[in-house]
Amino acid sequence: MLTEKAQVYKSYRKLLIFIWVLLMTVPGCDRLSVKDTLEGEEYHLINQFHEQISFPAAVQGKVVLIGYVYTHCPDICPIITFNMRDIQQEFADRDDFMLISISFDPQRDTPDVLSEYASNYRLDQDNWYLLTGEPQNVEAILERLRIGTLKSPTRFTESGTPVYFIDHTDRVTLIDEKGQIRRNYPGSELDKDEVVKDIQKLLNQS
């Protein structure tokens, strides 16, 4: 017969196993837990309509998906933009969800350039801000959101146009209606169904 101590240990072990199995059968149950918050912070940027935007105050009360791109990007930025556009189409009738693309190339990505970019990619701009601004303001928000960039050496065309490329973090960020960071995704490899499910969950909670 098992001693009383052995019986307690066996019961405790069964409980631990049960908890472990429960956690394993509910994958990602805490994936939308609050990772960080932007509450109380303020970043002054400009959107593609030349409007001054105070972020995150301007999107308070909305669930927001944020991507990081630049318009001269030759590789993953177009993929990120297309992936976000696919997700936007799933929430076309929601006014409590929006998208943001922040350019980390403010020298070239003026509001007019971003507006043209949005048109070329056929983005629905009713709930999609493309943001640029003063370099120090852009750098501040990118640093806060932990987006790294590395600019290549600049060369110039015969007409004096600067040419350079920027390596950058491949990320898309999901924040809730309070400005709390809930999840980061690889931007060029977004799992559409997973992201849509996460957004829907936050919308249902707000």
Residues 118-177 pLDDT 10s = 999 999 999 999 999 999 999 999 999 999 999 999 999 888 888 999 999 999 999 999
Confidence class for position 28, pLDDT limits 50, 70, 90: very low
pLDDT category of residue 11 using cuts at 50, 70 and 90: low
pLDDT in tens, 81-123: 999 999 999 998 899 999 999 999 999 999 999 999 999 999 9
Q: Rounded distance, CA 105 to CA 114, Å?
A: 11
Please, which pLDDT band fits residue 25 given cuts at 50, 70 and 90? very low
Reduce the DSSP state of residue 76 to 3 states and report it. helix
**For residue 12, what pLDDT band results from cuts at 50, 70 and 90?**
very low
- CATH value of 31-205 in 3.40.30.10, 3.40.190.10, 3.30.300.180, 1.10.3720.10: 3.40.30.10
pLDDT above 70 as % of the chain: 86
Q: Can you say how many angstroms the Cα of residue 71 is from the centroid of all Cα atoms in its chain?
A: 17
For the chain, what is the largest distance between any 2 Cα atoms, rounded to a whole number of angstroms? 91
Q: To which residue do tokens 């110039």 refer? A: 156
**Percentage of the residues of the chain whose pLDDT score is greater than 90:** 79
Say what angle helices 192-205 and 76-89 make with each other, to 10 degrees. Answer: 50
3-state helix, strand, coil in the chain (%, to 5): 40, 25, 40
Instruction: Please tell me the predicted confidence (pLDDT) of residue 4.
Output: 55
What is the pLDDT of the chain when averaged over all its residues? 88
Reading the block at residue 37, the tokens are 């918050």
Report the alpha-carbon distance of residue 131 to residue 113 in Å, rounded. Answer: 11
User: What are the angstrom distances between the C-alpha of 104 and each of 130, 132, 147?
Assistant: 11, 7, 9
pTM: 0.83
Would you list the domain boundaries of the chain? 1-30, 31-205
For residue 199, what are the CA distances in angstroms to 63, 86, 138, 202? Answer: 7, 13, 25, 5
